[in-house]
Amino acid sequence: MASEVPGYSIAGFVENLDKSRCKIQFEEGPIFWIDDIDNMVETHEAICGIGTTFRFKFTDQVAAKGMKFATVIHPTARVSSKSTMGQGSLVSVQSVIAAYTTLGEHVLINRGVIVGHHTSIGNFSSVMMGARVAGDTRIGQCTYIGLGAIVKNGVTIGDHCIVGAGAVVTKDLPDNVMAYGIPARIVKENIEGL
């Protein structure tokens, strides 16, 4: 997706789990081992587009090296000029972010997502394809909103939550829960995210 955004080109990809993966190319680009990007810190920016709410485990390593993070908005997306986005956040194809909305750092807004006005989405949260988040809503940090989920106006969803695909959230959810169904019901507690 980033390769379709004017002003950006893909220099390659970074691996931090399995060094043997660096022997291949991905999407015609090299895969760099995390310890080998030091010479890129001053000239490149990073973006972490993986859906897990645990992506801080990767971004913390990159930030410790001093690399800055890009904030990427696909040309077909619409982000209100009255809204704000933290560093490392990504708004994908045909998504809409309404006015007075705040996206924290490293927030992933996947394809075709609609986020209403006066909404806040915390650091490292993921809103997956086709989800609809109504206005005046709060989504905590490290929370995962599944494919096609709907979050009703004025609802608060806590930190480290998972909202299942297709769920309809009509009431507040506390921290560290998994909720599924229509309407969404808590099916698991004491989770840390996805």
> How many other CB atoms are found less than 10 A from the CB of residue 190?
9
Q: Which residues contact 191 (CB under 8 A, 6 or more apart)?
A: 160, 161, 162, 176, 177, 178
Which member of 44, 74, 106, 117 is catalytic?
A: 117
DSSP 13-38: EEESS-GGGGGSEETTEEEEEGGG-G
Closest listed residue to residue 186, CA positions, set 153, 52, 130, 175:
175
Whether 117 is a known active-site residue: answer yes
> How many other CB atoms are found less than 10 A from the CB of residue 21?
13
**Omega cis (within 30) before 183:** yes
The answer to whether 53 touches 160, Cβ cutoff 8 Å, is: yes
Residues classed as catalytic: 117
